[in-house]
Structure 1
Amino acid sequence: MTGGREGVQGFVIDPPAVPSVPVEGGGRFPVRRIFCVGKNYAEHVREMGADPRESPPVFFAKPADAVVESGATIPYPPGTDNLHYEGELVLALRAGGRDIASVEEADKLVFGFAAGCDLTRRDLQAAAKHAGAPWDAAKAFDRSAPVGAVARKEDRPLGEDARLVLSVNGEVRQAAALSEMIWSPAEILMALSRLFELKPGDLVFTGTPAGVGPLYPADEVEVRVGALPALGFSIAGGD
């Protein structure tokens, strides 16, 4: 600790560093909070055993320091034998608010986009669902939110034909058009703002398409979303 008994600026322990991810072209995007959307692609809802007509998208969260930059090697997390990948488009917010009422207003909140991967302890999630318990241990663990470099919206706008593709060891496992989302990015922000006050620095994972599956030690993962910077990471190899 520095700064004597009262620490830095009066804190009794040194405050943690601000989590951040790089921005394409320079600078870093500070991460305030990570919101995530589940059940936002109909085919993924079906592969998880539910009916998309009866099971609308849901929200959950990860801590800001769960973020991991592209190029990282991630230890296989403890407490699970079934780690899954979920490739996603990520929104990075420049502004916030409550009760966002229009698509135009929602679009103005977005600073840029990134490729992301929602790592999930699937066995713990299944147990939580069965028990009606929270998903925190399944979703909000350390290093569970790999995110690629953020591209400014004006530099790399997402076209209607943009696709999300996730590969493991060079083999495509997930591939879908972003237009297949049940809620569009703007609709996600509108719905989210009715539950939380959105603020600058928030990241929003927008949901994953069908094709989720397990990861093993030494696996190499790549997520591409349209022309955004690719996200790449690996799972640490076994002993």
Structure 2
Amino acid sequence: MSSAGVGCLYGVGVGPGDPELLTLKAVRVLKAAPIIFTPQATGSKDSLALMVARNYVDESRQRLIYASFVMGGTSDGVWSEAAERIAGYLLGGEDVAFLTQGDPLLYGSFMYVMVKVQAAHPTIPIEVVPGVTSITASASRAKMPLVSHGERLAVLPAMYGIDDLRDVLARNDTVVLMKVNRRAMAAVSQLEADGELSRCVFVRRATTPREQIAFSLREIAPEDIDYFSMLILSGKKGQV
């Protein structure tokens, strides 16, 4: 808690899924915070972020608060309500640890709450605890270098047009497509079939028991694709 008697909001990145990938700082913050706030996808029985951090949370002395949201959807109202609730605890002098899969500021739900808390209460202290991203976790599990010195990396949500994807591949050495869907997979499959890719790696739920890695999309069935799937791609130089 800050010296002014106002709690601190911690955005805690819990990493991609393996509890051993939590940082020492994340563990320390989780154990100390009296309130643990965790997003939960609508229809899910548990919070995926909380499942990763469960071993470091003691419900006998810490309060768990859930925020329900639609996976991949617009949840501005949810985050506004969450920011309001969290601000109440913070102004009452209690620290709050907000769990986020991966890193809090890379496609993380925490960023939406952080911005709203900052706007409404600019004096509330906020600290972000970085987490291992799904991008680096996927590359490490596939033993696939992302970029070396002087190379360019593009990180994008699922691309929908094959022409757009060709353009991005032509301008970057490596392209990471996050949260891929079947339409994006179809576009990439066409590029692979046409021989326009020098590498194509599919990774789903890296570092978790449900992890799946494939070095060709021909190995992937439609049911293998979910919200936590990504592709690591490189085009062939000189092709557009």
TM-score by length of 2: 0.24
Q: Would you tell me which structure has more strand in proportion to its own residues?
A: 1
Q: Per residue, is there more helix in 1 or in 2?
A: 2
- Between structure 1 and structure 2, the one with the greater Rg is 2
- The one of the two structures with greater contact order (alpha-carbon pairs below 8 A, sep at least 6) is 1
